[in-house]
Structure 1
């Protein structure tokens, strides 16, 4: 993990950061239906699971937008160079979940195999946390395959815990031969605006439409 300090004297978001953390603490959430038809078909053809591919692609795209990689170390704000997906491992035997993470790698097959190794190692590890020692660059991302939703907003009783995004996808729907999936994106307004989130979804849909560009 590389941490690059932010100089508040020259940071373009300095005034926005102060406003949305001190004067009006605010986060926001949007949910967008994305078309996963091409990617789903490509993964089926190459015998890959959808969930780890989803983790990889979202993490890859988030890591290209510095607005989504701001954390605080002590009193210092700074940018990370990449993030680590933190997700839930579902246990079929008792329908509980356990916290997991897999180190990101820019190579799809390397990340994919790391995910499979983690899943095999911790599948029978019950409890709130299955894989310990989650790194500081971890962000929350999940997929709820049992429910297609129009809106999903994660809530915390202690305010927004950090400035990294929280992402949740839902159940597929198939209509007129197209497969769509709702994706919820939550972010602290101190570090990002609607424009930045719209850019993410634009890039996400472009990548989903052309899996040959990242599915090696």
Structure 2
């Protein structure tokens, strides 16, 4: 089992490049935004089928691993101090078919896909059948929301927080796959606070993630 990494580095706001933007988008015009795209997951889906691995843990792993390369998506707060976490850990929903409810789980990120896959399966085995909102107690502040709605191929998905934000992590949601012109397409929604990222950063993330999905052998076997 992976040791949970909760390490964070304080952000020096006197030299932080986004200092003025952070102030503007939190104090003067509090703003967030969502981008939705269709991702081509054909190559990744084929690789996982060939290697007898599940798609959901691969999806969680690939997105989380890419987030480790983007510091703007790992900004949190500890006692009012802005920090940059080394990594984020995916927090996701598990669906209960018997009573149509969900439970929220999280799995510790590991740089190795095989280890992360084992962590995910262990969490499912331990907590997956517990019908309660949060069967696995939180152990760190650096979990982020990522999930899927496998029943709907959406064009747009926007989460609506009803409480003040304690972190500035992204919220990511996937939808139902569709097969079109020889490609498997997955809608993906990315929501972020404008204080830490702009449309450029999210666009770059989507472009990089598409390259990841196109070459799973480079990311799932490293």
Q: Which category describes the TM-score, using the shorter chain as reference length?
A: over 0.9
Q: Contact 1:52–1:112 at 8 Å: present in 2 too?
A: yes
Aligned 8 A contact 2:76 2:166 in 1: no
Matches within 5 A, 1:67-216: 67-216=72-221
Residue 42 of structure 2 is matched in structure 1 by 37
Query: Offset of 1:158 from its aligned partner?
Result: 2.3
| Structure 1: tracts of 5 or more residues without a match | none
Contact 2:107–2:123, Cα closer than 8 Å, also in 1: yes
Match of 2:11 among 6, 12, 15: 6
Moved over 3 A (4+): none
Cα distance, 1:162 vs. partner?
2.4
- Determine helix, strand or coil for the equivalent of 1:53: helix
TM-score (norm 2): 0.95
- SS of the equivalent of 1:213 reads helix
Partners of 1:152 and 1:134 lie apart in 2 by 28
- Which deviations, in whole Å up to 9, do the C-alpha atoms of 1:98-146 show, x marking residues without a partner? 1100000000000001100100111221111121124210000001110
Q: Distance in 2 between matches of 1:137 and 1:124?
A: 25
**1:57-87 deviation per Cα after TM superposition (whole angstroms, max 9, x unaligned):** 0000011100000001012101011000000
Is contact 1:101–1:134 with CA below 8 Å preserved after alignment? no
Matched residue pairs, number?
A: 216
CA contact (8 A) 1:162 1:188 kept: no
Deviations 1:163-201 (A, max 9, x none): 000000000010111000000000000000011101111
